[in-house]
A = this chain, B = another copy of it.
Amino acid sequence: MVKKSSSQLSHLDAEGRIRMVDVGAKAVTARTAEASGFVMMSPATVRAIREHRTPKGDPLEAARLAGIMAAKRTPELIPLCHSLALSHADVQIELRDDGARITATASTSAQTGVEMEALTAVSVAALTLYDMCKAIDREMTITKIRLERKSGGRSGEWRRSGNKKKG
């Protein structure tokens, strides 16, 4: 599972100080990332969401919008993450009987990847779902937030191992 030598964490310099990676010498390429997560809910909570999905809006749309907005602000939240201009960010939420599955994608043309943007979008969408349903269910659990795939940059296409079955 470890993709490079573990002798070097790229955010630490020779003396172990926290540092931002210098991407100045990296190529500007089209980069995308996809991440996912799941908010476990009681069946009653899922039903409550379903019953209130009206033409005027619903918690899923608020969560999607919050996730997209958070993707844009990722570098403010994650200390060593580079600022970049996303060409696209999207959050999809699928309501299942035991909760909500969230998938986010982010794309850019830049010197660094957008994994953190996709993961942040999933996380904030999940937190928003929690916020909007917590009055009826405080026990919801946000789980399985993970990178599904990425493309672009030096390492090219990457997919989570076992993605065929888990995806």
A contact residues, range: 35 or more
Q: Is the CB of B78 within 8 A of A76?
A: no
Q: Is the CB of A84 within 8 A of B81?
A: no
12 A-B residue pairings within 8 Å (CB atoms): A2-B48, A9-B136, A12-B52, A20-B68, A20-B90, A24-B87, A56-B58, A69-B76, A72-B75, A85-B110, A142-B144, A143-B143
Q: Is the CB of B138 within 8 A of A9?
A: no
Asked if A137 meets B59 with Cβ closer than 8 Å, knowing A65-B79, A85-B83, A127-B78, the reply is no
Q: Is the CB of B77 within 8 A of A16?
A: no
Number of copies of this protein chain within its complex: 6
Q: Is the CB of A146 within 8 A of B140?
A: yes
Q: Is the CB of B20 within 8 A of A135?
A: no
In the assembled complex, A3 has its CB within 8 A of some CB on chain B: yes
In the assembled complex, A128 has its CB within 8 A of some CB on chain B: yes
Q: Is the CB of B73 within 8 A of A76?
A: yes
Question: A161 — which chain B residues lie within 8 A by C-beta?
Answer: 139
Question: A89 — which chain B residues lie within 8 A by C-beta?
Answer: 20
Question: A140 — which chain B residues lie within 8 A by C-beta?
Answer: 146
Q: Is the CB of B52 within 8 A of A16?
A: yes
From B54, B65, B139, give the contact of A16 (CB < 8 A).
B54
